[in-house]
Chains A and B, each alone.
Chain A
Amino acid sequence: MEKFTILSGIAAPMDMMNIDTDQIIPKLHLRTIKRTGLGKVVFDELRFNTDGSEKPDFVLNREPYRRASILVAGDNFGCGSSREHAPWALLDFGIRCIIATSFADIFYNNCFKNCMLPVTVGKDDWRLLLNDAADSDNPRLMVDLEALTITRPGGDQIAFEIDGFRRDCLLKGLDDIGLTLQRADKIDAFEAAQSEQQPWLYTSAVQ
């Protein structure tokens, strides 16, 4: 997996609460067999009119936010259906970091699986960052996962926290399947014991 260490980029402000995965990527676009290519439809209904033209007010349709790699969004980001298409679509658009006051569980989880960093900050810090992002002349933030800081355009820093294991995986670009496979001996041992105790789980499945 790719690494996530330092991300310096344009932050787009999205001052909306409860942005759900349906809004990020409607079910119409789930009929794909790829992880990539969904960036062009991310936030479909917020971003485009029914005739396919852009809604000029939507933040990602404006300069410089078309090139955003960071999103500063409201409470409970990513709620609703478990579709991993939501982080895929954001990533494909170019967004690798979302800053919010809270996230829905599965979305939060899914981000780490895709080398994306969801950052939870307090209400006051969030307000500052939202204002920074809203200044279209210089909406640049720097997110440093090693130092656990966000550097604001003027140089001030805001600290954040993240679970150690997850941080490690992102910093080193570790693939968690690879990590688990390092424990293959334990999985083998589990299967050996279980097949002894519940042999029907090993003999009776699909023919």
Chain B
Amino acid sequence: MASPQTLFDKIWQSHVVDVQDDGTTILYIDRHLLHEVLSPQAFEGLRLAGRQVRRRDATLAVADHNVPTTDRRQGIEDPESRLQVETLSINCREFDVPIFDMLDPRQGIVHVIGPEQGFTLPGTTVVCCDSHTATHGAFGALAFGIGTSEGEHVLATQTLRTSKPKNMRVLVDDPLPPGCTGKDLILAIIGRMGTAGGTGHIVEYVGRAFRDLSMEGRMTVSNMTIEAGARAGLVAPDDKTFDYLKGRPMAPQGVQWDAAVAYWRTLKSDDGAVYDREVRIDAGDIAPQVTWGTSPEDVVPITGAVPDPQDAPTEAKRTAMRRSLDYMGLTPGTPMTDVAIDNVFIGSCTNSRIEDLRAAADILRGRRVAAHVDAMVSPGSSIIKQQAEAEGLDQVFIAAGFQWRESGCSMCLGMNPDRVAPGKRCASTSNRNFEGRQGRDARTHLVSPAMAAAAAVTGRLTDVRQLAR
């Protein structure tokens, strides 16, 4: 009998086109997503070499990083941003690649629209010149970020030259406590593993905590796998996955749907399959999480305090912590709930889906944003925005004092005009709290959507469980 395989082994093996003498694998790529920032040079390369896109039906482009979240019919003011977005359209026209441009009703953040359209499917290989491609792993797809030259290689050959990563299992067997979401779970995991903890590995998330999550929650978890240094995260597909995909525009239909589901049901790790590494985490005692520093591993429970560098194990770590605290303007020992904030951002490919907006709106209903706080929401896609409006969520946000914006990467990285001002402090549902990420000298605290809404209401970092109804 064949030896038991992990989910990752199964997907990998079913995509090997060829193995070279030196061990390099030519891996077939089923789905290729593109956005305007890291793709122009890939198209330029094709053009210079006189090459074509091998499978336009397996390729999808969208403008998201540079697009304004205010009225788009006015166009883009910044000339460089405008050129990048226009170049994507020109390239897609020239190479006949499907594109959702800035004004398309299906436009949105690249990692939100893939699943939303049913472009992302279980058992597939998905790549994009973007590290948060890991998001799509929530569907049991092997999804990872690549460089621009690798993107050009995929456009021309529909394959990648690569070598096989290692396999790691993260097991969380117990259910999440009330008030905790997929965001709190993944922040707790990154806090435990560290930002280099997953280097060289593909992570499979196994156990009750992940099974219980909605597809939205699983996407949040998978999305931030890269913050633990791993290339990709995987959750085995189940009925929730199939229910989410059924009827999506690019998902299989009719008899093909039935055949696909039958195949997808085989996509799980066999009993006794061996992983290179295992990590087990107890979810039972985690509280809502918040970051205090400038790395996603700088995590504490909201009930905790700003840590003291003196307690760090090594001098290198102490130095790094001091630098972080200096940048963040925080004093060791301060309770996290004493930290006042200036901005709230609800958005990004981590937390901008309908469930995220509902969770934030639940906290905000009948409440007001604190007077000194500047708060905005940018839904993950134009379709999510429409759905939220149909549910009346936009009115809840607006009544509370939030700005209700168009969809895009927005304040997650501030390539468009949405930025946190120097020295200001933001409770953000995005994924990176690096120095300067949300704007020069901006200070970021990563939290879940409900926690962001709670912070908006009180004007400081807040334990959402105290506002829950």
Cα(A187)–Cα(B157), bound, Å:
8
A164-B22, A180-B161 given as contacts; is B44 within 8 A of A84 (CB)?
Answer: no
Cα(A84)–Cα(B40), bound, Å:
12
The answer to whether B415 and A31 have CB atoms under 8 Å apart is yes
Contact of A199 among B22, B256, B415 (CB under 8 A): B256
Contact of A31 among B59, B81, B250 (CB under 8 A): B81
**B84 interfacial by beta-carbon distance below 8 Å:** yes
User: Which B residues touch A202, using CB under 8 A?
Assistant: 57
Residue of B nearest to A32 (CB): B80
The answer to whether B252 and A200 have CB atoms under 8 Å apart is yes
User: Which B residues touch A27, using CB under 8 A?
Assistant: 413, 415
**B350 interfacial by beta-carbon distance below 8 Å:** no
Task: Please give the number of chain A residues whose Cβ is less than 8 angstroms from any Cβ of chain B in the complex.
Answer: 46
Would you give the shortest CB distance from B248 to chain A, in whole angstroms? 10
Cα(A176)–Cα(B436), bound, Å:
36
The answer to whether B121 and A201 have CB atoms under 8 Å apart is yes
Kindly identify, within residues 255 to 295 of chain B, every residue whose CB is under 8 Å from any CB belonging to chain A. Answer: 256-257, 259-260, 263
**A35 interfacial by beta-carbon distance below 8 Å:** yes
**B253 interfacial by beta-carbon distance below 8 Å:** yes
**A186 interfacial by beta-carbon distance below 8 Å:** yes
Residue of B nearest to A20 (CB): B434
A180-B153, A199-B256, A206-B60 given as contacts; is B146 within 8 A of A82 (CB)?
Answer: yes
Would you give the shortest CB distance from B433 to chain A, in whole angstroms? 14
**A203 interfacial by beta-carbon distance below 8 Å:** yes
A204-B250, A207-B249 given as contacts; is B147 within 8 A of A181 (CB)?
Answer: no
Would you give the shortest CB distance from B65 to chain A, in whole angstroms? 9
User: Which B residues touch A152, using CB under 8 A?
Assistant: none
**B30 interfacial by beta-carbon distance below 8 Å:** yes
Cα(A205)–Cα(B24), bound, Å:
29
User: Which A residues touch B129, using CB under 8 A?
Assistant: 82
Cα(A187)–Cα(B253), bound, Å:
26
A33-B83, A84-B41 given as contacts; is B157 within 8 A of A180 (CB)?
Answer: yes
Kindly identify, within residues 130 to 149 of chain B, every residue whose CB is under 8 Å from any CB belonging to chain A. Answer: 130-131, 145-149
- For A188-206 the 0/1 string (1 means CB < 8 A from B) is 0011001001111111111
The answer to whether B26 and A165 have CB atoms under 8 Å apart is no
Would you give the shortest CB distance from A163 to chain B, in whole angstroms? 7
Cα(A131)–Cα(B372), bound, Å:
54
**A61 interfacial by beta-carbon distance below 8 Å:** no
The answer to whether B51 and A30 have CB atoms under 8 Å apart is no
**B13 interfacial by beta-carbon distance below 8 Å:** no
Cα(A170)–Cα(B37), bound, Å:
27
Contact of B252 among A33, A110, A186, A204 (CB under 8 A): A204
The answer to whether A84 and B17 have CB atoms under 8 Å apart is no
User: Which A residues touch B57, using CB under 8 A?
Assistant: 202, 205-206
User: Which B residues touch A22, using CB under 8 A?
Assistant: 434, 436
The answer to whether A204 and B256 have CB atoms under 8 Å apart is yes
Contact of B37 among A30, A176, A177 (CB under 8 A): A30
**Would you mind naming 28 contact pairs between A and B with Cβ atoms under 8 Å apart?**
A27-B413, A27-B415, A31-B37, A31-B66, A32-B40, A33-B44, A33-B84, A34-B41, A34-B44, A84-B148, A163-B22, A175-B49, A176-B153, A180-B156, A183-B26, A186-B26, A187-B26, A187-B54, A191-B28, A194-B28, A197-B263, A200-B257, A203-B252, A203-B256, A205-B31, A205-B57, A206-B57, A206-B60
Would you give the shortest CB distance from B324 to chain A, in whole angstroms? 14
The answer to whether B260 and A198 have CB atoms under 8 Å apart is yes
Residue of B nearest to A184 (CB): B157
User: Which B residues touch A194, using CB under 8 A?
Assistant: 28
The answer to whether B263 and A82 have CB atoms under 8 Å apart is no
**A138 interfacial by beta-carbon distance below 8 Å:** no
Cα(A187)–Cα(B156), bound, Å:
12
The answer to whether B157 and A181 have CB atoms under 8 Å apart is yes
Cα(A76)–Cα(B123), bound, Å:
34
**B352 interfacial by beta-carbon distance below 8 Å:** no
The answer to whether B150 and A113 have CB atoms under 8 Å apart is yes
The answer to whether A187 and B40 have CB atoms under 8 Å apart is no
Would you give the shortest CB distance from B111 to chain A, in whole angstroms? 15
A81, A84, A197: most-surrounded residue (chain B CB, <10 A) = A84
Contact of B253 among A88, A163, A186, A204 (CB under 8 A): A204
The answer to whether A110 and B149 have CB atoms under 8 Å apart is yes
Cα(A165)–Cα(B25), bound, Å:
12
Would you give the shortest CB distance from A205 to chain B, in whole angstroms? 4
Cα(A201)–Cα(B123), bound, Å:
11
User: Which A residues touch B18, using CB under 8 A?
Assistant: 183, 186
Cα(A22)–Cα(B249), bound, Å:
38
User: Which B residues touch A151, using CB under 8 A?
Assistant: none
Cα(A113)–Cα(B20), bound, Å:
18
- For B8-40 the 0/1 string (1 means CB < 8 A from A) is 000000000110101010101011000001101
The answer to whether A84 and B26 have CB atoms under 8 Å apart is no
A113-B147, A183-B26 given as contacts; is B66 within 8 A of A33 (CB)?
Answer: no
**B225 interfacial by beta-carbon distance below 8 Å:** no
Cα(A185)–Cα(B26), bound, Å:
13
Kindly identify, within residues 94 to 118 of chain A, every residue whose CB is under 8 Å from any CB belonging to chain B. Answer: 105-106, 109-110, 113-114
Cα(A93)–Cα(B24), bound, Å:
31
Kindly identify, within residues 141 to 170 of chain A, every residue whose CB is under 8 Å from any CB belonging to chain B. Answer: 163-165
**B251 interfacial by beta-carbon distance below 8 Å:** yes
A187-B157, A187-B158 given as contacts; is B80 within 8 A of A31 (CB)?
Answer: yes
User: Which A residues touch B199, using CB under 8 A?
Assistant: 105
Cα(A80)–Cα(B405), bound, Å:
30
**B87 interfacial by beta-carbon distance below 8 Å:** yes
User: Which B residues touch A200, using CB under 8 A?
Assistant: 121, 252, 256-257, 259-260
**B101 interfacial by beta-carbon distance below 8 Å:** no
The answer to whether A165 and B156 have CB atoms under 8 Å apart is no
Cα(A199)–Cα(B81), bound, Å:
39
